[in-house]
Amino acid sequence: MDWTGTVEQYPFILVAAGLADKVEVQLAYAIGVADPVSVLVETFGTSNVDPAALSKPCASISSSRREASSTRST
């Protein structure tokens, strides 16, 4: 499975891949900390795989998203 994309697209990717029917993603950031301090992927009981496994790719996507936004010109 290709996990590329942005955090905003992540729920749509999971639903399109058939891994869950309904998905909500929450990210928490702290001032001075580059990566999210918390990643929560809620599937409301509709997941076809272990819900804990779904948050790992989301954390890596959010890290790459941060790097992409820092290189964007303003």
Neighbours of 62 (CB within 10 A): 18
- Write the single-letter amino acid at 18: G
Could you tell me the pTM of the whole model? 0.65
Q: What is the pLDDT of residues 5-40, one digit of tens each?
A: 567 788 888 899 898 999 998 888 889 887 788 888
Two tokens, residue 48: 């076809």
Q: Going by C-beta distance under 8 Å and a sequence separation of 6 or more, which residues neighbour residue 9?
A: none
